[in-house]
Amino acid sequence: MRIRNRLLLLVLALFLPMFVASALVVWYVYREEQKSQERSVAETARAFALLVDSELRVREGILQTMVNSPSLQNSLRSKDFSLFYSYARNMAPNPDTAIVLSELDGRQIFNTRVEFGEQLPARRSSNLTELVHKYGADSTLVSDLFFSQVGERYDFNIQVPVRVDGQVRYFLIMGIQTAQLQALFRAQRFPAKWIGTVVDRKGTVVARSADPEQNVGRVLRESSLQQLAAGREGVYRSVTLDGIRVKAFYSHVPNADWTVLISIPEAEVRRVAFRAAALLGAVMVLLLALAVIAARRFAAGVIRPIEDLGRTADRLGQGQEVAYTSQGLAEADTVGYTMVNASRQILRAKAELEQRVADAVSAFERAQTALLQSQKLEALGRLTGGIAHEFNNLLQTLSTALQLAEMTSDRQRMQSLIDTCKKTVDRATSLTSQLSSFGRIQDARLATTSVKERVDTFVQLVHNILPSNITLEVDCAPDLWPVTVDPLQFELALLNIALNAKDAMPEGGRLRVQASNVDLQHPSHGLPAGGYVRITVSDTGAGMPPDVLAKALDPFFTTKGVGKGTGLGLPQAYGFATQSHGMLVLNSTPGAGTSVGIYLPRSALPVSVPSGKEGAWQANGIDAGSTDRGTTVLLVEDDALVREAVLAALEKAGFRMLVACSGDAALAMLESGVQPFPDVVFSDIVMPGQIGGIELAKIVSERFPGIRMVLSTGYTDKRVEIPGVHLLAKPYEIGAAVRLLSRSGS
């Protein structure tokens, strides 16, 4: 914690007790102000209840005066109430007040709101009859609120008894409009947010200071009715008919059994008390703020030398030579000058250390370069040695067979030697095919294929080589996506992995092949996100230790005995996966087995239709009868031996031949209009000069659209994407070339 903060905490610790005490004082003032206000409002409610009672007594006094008047006595003797009717209309306090004389059963004799002699209501609208039964007929009664049928408004009645010969014979009733009580609220001038309400015995609103038009005649909430029934006066929290949360103070009207409520919004109740408390609290906060400001200024003067030391230490930590200016504080100056000396020593030590590190890094880089070079030479030596070994064996076979052919004239023996040479060529083709999997894709062999069909073909092949003690399990998910690959390389990769698994399980075990669709949401295993088909081949064999696993994908690396393996199985599978824009993932645990996963990207192309026996690797012999004797072929080949051999074979097949040793020479012949003009150009792809086979095909398709193109390739790292151009992979059967050239020329 910084010293500045510690000083501030010290000041706060001194002021905290005072602040707590002040908070208690503020709370006490708040509570007392609130209690004082509640007492004042309760007194107001009690006084207003007396005021309502006084108003009702005034109306009762008018009725008593009329009961004792000679006019009523004369009317009672004569049974003619017309004179008293006129007298009653004159005695009414205002035109909205009705004077009613009724018999004990409630039947009206006259009603000043109706002309004398006209039809009067047959029954009472008020509850005076109920009150007479409850309280008796010889006392003054005030009814609850009711809706007057005659006046079509809310009224209430005051009833006094009329005695004849000491017995109650009639009732004199005054009907009072509720609006006359509203004048009491206006006269009191309650604060704007206070709500004064007069309710009858049933809790119905008789008068209200706020919005009387919407609230007179409504009944209070049940919770309020329960509170009013609990006592004659008190206070409770409630919600008004307007939905306002209030604190309600109530008091009963003495002689009417009504209730007066003074409702104050809770926010208003707190506001007055809060105002006094807030003033005191503001003073305390101001004092605290002044104390903090003073503490900060004092702290700034104390910690300025320390902050300067901090900046000096930062420069020291960054390796800079520091300078220090005296701050007038002995302890800080001592530390500052010590850091100055330390910075000089650190700079000297740093320079020495950097020199030593530079020397060590240089030595390490030289050693690392030498190690990498050694590893490269070792891998290259193993690769070239393996290739040399394999091809020397093949060359030895070819050399021996050709020498024997020179020494024999036996046709059958000659044919046998030729067959041996063909088998040797096929073996060399297979070897170069495996080696080519480490390069780039050869367009001549690409096809969009079904993974399920390739796996089924592999299963047919592998069934013949697996011993009976190895169980083969195949699990291919439905609706596998198609992939664009070299089908033969695909099957060869699976076969190579299966052969390795067989050798790893001499005592038997389980070989499991699984295929499923995988949608990578994020880059994984060096692959970008996207859709892939994953083929997993796993075994329960001996597994590989880490040192063997690290070299398992190196060409010609093998742990098998002499003559039992070439070391091209897993490397071929790895090369196939990578050249197909996929990945091979190898996992192995000693004693638990090995799992090889091949990820192949999903293809958007439809599955290719199999080409039957027209493939370059399936044709046999030369069928000269299938060619068009009028077809002229321009053969473009830079290798003299290949050129001479292919030229002779195509001439024997019946083609008219033109020959060029490079793409430049072929283009010159075409531009010169050589005769006969060629129908087909049969060109190698990789040739010396400015124009290779692909470039020549583009030029021919643009300048000479009538000439068809056929390209042959042993290997190329360029993609052929020219419409109408056919590809033929070396080495090819002459029969396949003849059929392709004939079809192109047809």
DSSP string, 148-197: ETTTTEEEEEEEEEEEETTEEEEEEEEEEETHHHHHHHHHHT--TT-EEE
What is the model's pLDDT at position 97?
86
What is the model's pLDDT at position 205?
92
Q: Are 155 and 175 in contact (CB under 8 A)?
A: yes
Residue 215 and residue 204 share a domain: yes
What is the C-alpha radius of gyration for the chain, rounded to an integer number of angstroms? 58
- Kind and range of the H or E run holding 741: helix 734-745
Peptide bond into 676 cis (omega under 30): yes
Tell me the average pLDDT across 580-596: 92
What is the model's pLDDT at position 302?
62
Whole-number percent of the chain with pLDDT over 90: 21
What is the model's pLDDT at position 593?
92
Residue 135 and residue 255 share a domain: yes
Of 223-237, 383-397, 507-521, the one with minimum mean pLDDT is 383-397
How far apart CA 561 and CA 506 sit, in angstroms, is 15
Whole-number percent of the chain with pLDDT over 70: 79
Q: Per-residue confidence at 386, pLDDT binned at 50, 70, 90?
A: low
What is the model's pLDDT at position 182?
83
Which one-letter amino acid corresponds to residue 539? Answer: D
Q: What digits encode the pLDDT tens for the residues 522-549?
A: 998 889 999 999 999 999 998 999 988 8
Comparing CA positions, the residue from 212, 188, 183 lying closest to residue 199 is 212
What is the model's pLDDT at position 613?
37
Q: Are 144 and 207 in contact (CB under 8 A)?
A: no
Of 146-150, 238-242, 673-677, the one with minimum mean pLDDT is 146-150
Q: What digits encode the pLDDT tens for the residues 249-279?
A: 999 998 888 999 998 888 777 775 666 667 7
509 compared with 291, residue with greater pLDDT: 509
Among 601, 616, 650, give the residue marking a domain's end: 601
561 compared with 261, residue with greater pLDDT: 261
Q: What digits encode the pLDDT tens for the residues 306-336?
A: 667 677 777 777 767 777 677 666 766 787 7
- Strand partners of residue 515: 476, 535
Among 601, 633, 655, give the residue marking a domain's end: 601
Specify if 300 maps to a domain.
no
Q: What is the mean pLDDT of the chain?
A: 80
Specify if 607 maps to a domain.
no
Q: What digits encode the pLDDT tens for the residues 502-528?
A: 988 988 999 999 999 999 999 988 899
Residue 410 and residue 326 share a domain: yes
Q: What digits encode the pLDDT tens for the residues 688-702?
A: 888 988 999 999 999
CA atoms within 13 A on the CB side of 528: 4
Residue 409 and residue 389 share a domain: yes
Residue 744 has pLDDT above 50, yes or no: no
Tokens read off for 234: 């008190």
CA angle 388, 390, 395 (to 5 degrees): 85
Specify if 451 maps to a domain.
yes
Comparing CA positions, the residue from 117, 68, 63, 53 lying closest to residue 92 is 63
Q: Are 306 and 332 in contact (CB under 8 A)?
A: yes
Residue 212 and residue 75 share a domain: yes
216 compared with 342, residue with greater pLDDT: 216
Specify if 24 maps to a domain.
no
DSSP state of 97: -
Name the 3-class secondary structure at 413: helix
Of 248-252, 401-405, 445-449, 584-588, the one with minimum mean pLDDT is 401-405
DSSP state of 233: E
Residue 563 has pLDDT above 80, yes or no: no
Strand 530-539 relative to strand 509-520, pairing: antiparallel
Specify if 685 maps to a domain.
yes
How far apart CA 217 and CA 335 sit, in angstroms, is 88
Among 405, 436, 467, give the residue marking a domain's end: 436
What is the model's pLDDT at position 514?
95
Residue 590 has pLDDT above 60, yes or no: yes
How far apart CA 39 and CA 475 sit, in angstroms, is 90
- Structural domain tally of the chain? 4
Residue 479 has pLDDT above 60, yes or no: yes
Strand ranges in 3-76 using DSSP code E only, listed in sequence order: none
CATH number at residue 90: 3.30.450.20
Residue 386 and residue 419 share a domain: yes
Tokens read off for 29: 């003032």
Residue 673 has pLDDT above 70, yes or no: yes
Specify if 231 maps to a domain.
yes
What is the model's pLDDT at position 614?
38
Residue 590 and residue 527 share a domain: yes
Residue 746 has pLDDT above 50, yes or no: no
CATH number at residue 726: 3.40.50.2300
What is the model's pLDDT at position 658?
94
What is the model's pLDDT at position 615?
35
How far apart CA 104 and CA 162 sit, in angstroms, is 10
Comparing CA positions, the residue from 569, 544, 537 lying closest to residue 555 is 569
How far apart CA 387 and CA 556 sit, in angstroms, is 8
Residue 6 has pLDDT above 80, yes or no: no
Instruction: Looking at 480-542, list the stretches that DSSP marks H as alpha helix, in order from N- to C-terminal side.
Output: 487-504
Q: Per-residue confidence at 141, pLDDT binned at 50, 70, 90?
A: very high
What is the model's pLDDT at position 727?
81
Which conformational region is residue 366 in: left (phi greater than 0), alpha (psi within -120 to 50 degrees), or beta?
alpha
Q: Are 183 and 48 in contact (CB under 8 A)?
A: no
What is the model's pLDDT at position 12?
67
Comparing CA positions, the residue from 368, 154, 388, 159 lying closest to residue 256 is 159
Beta-carbon contacts of 510 under 8 Å, excluding residues fewer than 6 positions away, are 470, 471, 473, 539, 540
Q: What digits encode the pLDDT tens for the residues 353-379?
A: 888 888 887 777 766 655 555 554 455
Residue 478 and residue 432 share a domain: no
Residue 251 and residue 176 share a domain: yes
Residue 446 and residue 480 share a domain: yes
104 compared with 422, residue with greater pLDDT: 104
Residue 17 has pLDDT above 70, yes or no: yes
Residue 90 and residue 47 share a domain: yes
What is the model's pLDDT at position 745?
44
Residue 655 has pLDDT above 60, yes or no: yes
Name the 3-class secondary structure at 527: strand
Q: Per-residue confidence at 624, pLDDT binned at 50, 70, 90?
A: very low
Residue 344 has pLDDT above 80, yes or no: no
How far apart CA 253 and CA 250 sit, in angstroms, is 10
Q: Per-residue confidence at 625, pLDDT binned at 50, 70, 90?
A: very low
Residue 82 has pLDDT above 50, yes or no: yes
26 compared with 710, residue with greater pLDDT: 710
Residue 432 has pLDDT above 70, yes or no: no
Residue 558 and residue 666 share a domain: no
Specify if 8 maps to a domain.
no
Q: What digits encode the pLDDT tens for the residues 158-213?
A: 999 999 888 998 999 998 888 888 888 888 888 888 899 999 999 999 999 888 88
What is the model's pLDDT at position 255?
82
Which residues form the domain of 366? 319-436
Specify if 146 maps to a domain.
yes
